[in-house]
Structures are given as structure tokens and as C-alpha cells.
Amino acid sequence: MSRVHLLGLCGLVCAMALSGCMGDPAPRQSADFPQAAFPAWKVEDESYRFYPGDKFRIDVRTAPELSGELTIAPDGRITLPTIGAVMAAGQSVKELQATVEDIYGNELLDPSLVITPTDFGSQKIFVGGEVKQPGVFELPGEIDPLQAILLAGGWTEEGKPTKVIIMRRQPGGELMTRVVDVRNGLAKQALYDVGPLKRFDVVFVTRKTIADENLFVKQFVRDALPIDFSLFYDVARF
């Protein structure tokens, strides 16, 4: 079965489940899906953090033989000459520079070095739910949720552009979610302002009114994610 068919099936199951639960004033809690709130959404202009597939150059002033370009492996590590594997994913440029300087401090009198990013791995987002062409899309620079939905062909007639779920995993592992109104948000930024989308963000256009955002995410949105996004939101912690 193709990914599009799977996503369509997930959307149908989601709609059927929602139609059954919307009669209650609020979804009922269960052992599998406890109603634990996600952290409040924060929009921060924080430093970029490395991710597998990113490349950067290390220049060690006092030991040029240790200089060179490195690529972060799928497990998040780099291999340093004479040292071996070191975790790099999840760190900013300054943090990784301090980490490597501390390691080389055991071998060099002056371990000062410079890290320069040279290439960034795939920047992907997932747009799903009630959109015409759900799937994974390359992030074309800084875009907002409405632009992401347009990448997916726009919302369907059954879609609720006033109830769009945004999911984001923080560097520390926390999962943030927020419901935004992309239809009216252009006029009222308070309904819409989640900042530019970031790598591995999920934009999910719902069909029905959401009684409980957290329960909706746990029961339906995650089941619709492709495998790489699903793994990222379930187990990715650097």
C-alpha cells in the first residue's frame, strides 16, 4: 500500500474516531493515552543545533593535522583524529567547539579551535491530515504553517484551517504542540505566531473541532507520521 493510501486511511480512521468522541464535552482519559499536558509553546531565536547529516570544518591552530571536514553520522557522532567517536548532534557551534577543545586539552597545550558549518543535512517537514498532497517536504528556507500547507496543495474541503496542529521536538527532548488558525491568522497574528517552521516540524490539518489537543496528537497525529518522523518524535533525544 502506498504512503498516500496509508495517510488517507489514517485520515479516515481519525475522522471516524473523532466523530464518535465529539459528543462528549471532553475526551475520556485512558491508561494508554493519559491527558498529560505538553510544555507551553515557546518561540525562541536560539542558536542552530547540529543534526545527523550536517557537515562542518574543524581548524585547530596549533595542530593543523587535526583539522579537516567532518560529517555527523546517523547516530549523532563524529570521529575525531586520535580520539574516536564524540557526540555532536544537539549541540550548537559554541557548545561543540567547547566540547572538542576540552577533549584536545588533554593532548595539546593550546587546544583552541574554530568550527565552521559547511553543509546542512536534509531540512524536512511533514504536512498531513486534511491536505490535498500529504507527505514529507524539503524546508525551502523560513516558511510559516500556511505556506507549508500550500506546499501540500492546500487544505481539502473537509479540512479545518482554523484548527491546525503544529508539533515540534525541542533539543532537550520535550515535545511542544500548538493549535493555530491559519485562515484568520494573517489578520490576527496572535492566532498564528509560532515562528518559522524548523526541521522535523509537523503541520497537521484537522477535520473536526479538537476537544483535547494533547489527546488528539497522541491518538491520531503520530499514527499518520512516516517512519523517520515517527521515530524522531518517539525516541529522538540527544
CATH number for the domain including 143?
3.10.560.10
140 within 8 A of 196, measured Cβ to Cβ: no
For 158-192, write each residue's pLDDT tens digit. 888 888 989 887 766 677 888 888 887 665 655 55
| Phi and psi torsions of 75, nearest 5° | -85, 5
For 8-24, write each residue's pLDDT tens digit. 444 443 443 443 443 33
Q: Pick from 98, 119, 140: which residue ends a domain? A: 119
Q: Is the dihedral of CA 126, 215, 165, 132 positive or negative?
A: positive
Q: In whole angstroms, how large is the CA radius of gyration of the chain?
A: 21
Q: Which residue in the block uniquely carries the three cell numbers 521515530?
A: 231
pLDDT of the residue at 136: 92
This prediction's pTM: 0.60
Residue ranges making up the domain that contains 205: 3-45+122-235
Q: Which residue in the block uniquely carries the three cell numbers 557537515?
A: 55
Residues of the chain with pLDDT under 70: 1-46, 171-173, 185-193, 209-216, 218-220, 222-223, 227-228, 230-238
Number of domains in the chain: 2
165 and 150 belong to one structural domain = yes
pLDDT of the residue at 191: 52
Strand order through the sheet with 124-129: 135-138, 124-129, 202-205, 164-169, 175-180
pLDDT of the residue at 134: 93
Q: Which residue in the block uniquely carries the three cell numbers 574543524?
A: 58
